[in-house]
Structure 1
């Protein structure tokens, strides 16, 4: 069955004067993949990136509005059940007069709230997502009650604490791909911070919003929002705080990430340069959540540049740079280390490059190390499933027990 996406690809292919064989060769894809796409089959976004590059168009112009497919199965039911308390705390039912009355909630103490936000971030970094999910609902209720109960200067501090809770909630929900809930949390954090004059906190929310847009393949909007916000908060490099530099640099990373995926390499190159400027001014990594999104510096900028190589299919480039310079053991030691999520995402790029090079055992080694560090995190990563699926598809010898175990953990059919 043909789809709008399939029709768009076929239209641009014909406009470019390419046959299916010619498009496959230009994109570095198999002919069967191009045929599958034009017949309306499921397609990875990275495949669309390759097709867009070959066609000389932005990735976003290939997308088409379609009715969503039915979401069925026990996993969807379980996700709804697991997030009931968080949903109630974040999005209470609203009637004609006011939100539906709930049990009275004592205002959370501001120091305790800030401490618990830091605790939630530590649990998040430790891959303890169930603990984060349990911690957030009372934090959301208590921080909202504090804003409503306090006044004057105390209320101003309560608003900042509330923003931090919402930022943590948005980060967690984006990570576990609950995008509508995440949007609500991040939008509310940005609104509160903006209204209270907390510009850098609002900009941190924008960094999170751009990550959410990126996850939803909304590349044009992500690039525009991040670039606009970066221009609005541009720092004086000689005197800016590490927090200011980190937020500004994180915004440029979002510009780069969206534009490289949208086949806008010139924009991506300039954005990477701006991010590197911020990182150089900082001199080392900073993981100062909730002051900023939580992981920026020279090593992070290098990892994201290597991610660009992965997206463009340069496996050799990924492997050449994966353990050198800022991301080498020596470099990380000097720069202060990176966030667990950024490091694990980087090593997924390395695993993908190993598969592309036919080095299946090395790819499995990377996947197993990630699983040991972040057993829950890896199950939320489509890239991990793609890498495992490619191993299963291309390996010529019998699968090892390790491969079967990893495929089962990721839910990839052999």
Structure 2
């Protein structure tokens, strides 16, 4: 029998289905995946299935999703238009440290400039961030050899890796996050780069790698709850949430719930204290609630998604891609699953108005709108506008 790595997903699906004594029709009934889709996947005529489809099949078969995906699965990266738009950022990332100049940047000046740019990232203003990053990367590289400049450079590389992951420029994101990890001053600083890399691996479809990395670092950073600092609790909590996300996508719901409970204990120990380090490290009970709603969506409990989302208080928090907007996509997905299509369109439109530069990079949004479009005989003008916004061909 060929090694799983040498077979296609369709071959693995067919082999496991037959070992379970299931027909294609029976698998369709148990998984909720269309019989025609299962046939096309097994015949190798389907292309690359969505993770939602892979997970549903894996759960019905009682195997991890990674068993179906194999080791060669990789999701699509950025379009050529996106690559062209952010080429200056990638060039600055690869450029050697600049030679000495008459007015060399100072650590204090670079730190202030990086701090001033953070609202662009937190506010989903990706295009503006892309315009300032080349100069920031150049200046931060110029001070990276100084003891005080190294963590500033590492922090900027972490933000750059986050932006490149957000825009699906995966190889460049790996480079930035690897350098951020190398330049981190301590394990807490390194954990920020590791957490973003876990997210990057999940976006790439490399679920097993993400799970292993999150587990390794969560074990490494597990704090003593009675005396843990906010930074320690936040870093540990985020790694647990990344591990839960990987377990969810692998069809291991029990593991995901266990990790979510641990993440909740970190939030409880943190209480009202604030985690330092900017928006990427922000962590509290609401962070966990958002991931619980995401877990409910992945577990195909749309009513629970809407219930949990409605219970979250947003007082004092601005909606960004890392909190409300991402949760709104879960709400839109739940509404579409419940056939509440006008509400799903309303929710997607709200996200577009709040984060017009962020939404086009969300494959999730395209999938949700595609579900709505498939079930409508005619498209409203609003649907057509949204389709253009998320790059959904009609």
TM superposition score normalised by structure 2? 0.91
Q: Look up the match of 1:161.
A: 152
5+ residue gaps in structure 1? 93-98, 149-154
Flag structure 2 segments of 5+ consecutive residues without an equivalent. Answer: 1-6
1:81 maps to which of 72, 76, 84: 84
| Range with greater deviation from structure 2 (172-181 or 275-284) | 275-284
- Structure 1 residue matching 2:323: 3-state secondary structure: helix
Write the mapping of 1:233-248 to structure 2, written as runs, cut at 5 A: 233-248=221-236
- Cα distance, 1:221 vs. partner? 1.5
Contact 1:285/1:299 (<8 A) preserved: no
Residues 287 and 338, structure 1, Cα contact 8 Å, conserved in 2: no
Query: Which range moves more in the overlay, 254-263 or 214-223?
Result: 214-223
**Residue of structure 1 in register with 2:3 after alignment:** none
Shift of 1:408: 2.0
- Alignment partner, residue 180 of structure 1: 171
Q: How does 1:93-172 map to 2 (within 5 A)?
A: 104=100, 107-148=104-145, 155-172=146-163
Quote the Cα distance in structure 2 between the aligned partners of 1:393 and 1:289.
43
Write the deviation string for residues 126-172 of structure 1: whole angstroms up to 9, x where unpaired: 22212111211121121111123xxxxxx221111111111111111
Tell whether 2:183 aligns with 1:201: no
Instruction: Give the whole-Å Cα distance in 2 for the aligned partners of 1:37 and 1:269.
Output: 30
Deviation at 1:33, TM superposition (A): 2.1
Q: Which residue of the partner structure matches residue 361 of structure 2?
A: 380
Q: 1:188 to 1:39 in 2, by over 3 A?
A: same
Q: How many residue pairs get matched?
A: 385
The equivalent residue for 2:200 is 212
Q: Which residue of 2 aligns with 1:274?
A: 262
Contact 1:107 / 1:144 at 8 angstroms: preserved in 2?
Answer: no
Aligned equivalents of 2:17, 2:221: Cα separation in 1: 41
Aligned to 1:409, which of 361, 386, 389? 389
- Partner SS for 2:63: coil
1:47 is matched with which residue?
A: 53
The 8 Å contact of residues 300 and 342 in structure 1, kept in 2 or not, is answered as: yes
Normalising by structure 1, we get a TM-score of 0.87
CA distance in 2, matches of 1:163, 1:388: 37
Summarize deviations over 1:239-298 as a string: whole Å, max 9, x none: 2221221111000000100011111222211110110011111224847444x7333211
Question: What is the Cα deviation at residue 238 of structure 1?
Answer: 2.3
- Comparing 358-367 and 33-42, the one that deviates more: 33-42
1:175 shift after superposition: 0.6
**Please, which moves more after superposition, 299-308 or 135-144?**
135-144
Question: Any idea what SS the aligned residue of 1:341 has?
Answer: coil
Q: What RMSD in Å do the two structures reach over aligned CA positions?
A: 2.3
Residue 302 (structure 1) aligns with: 289
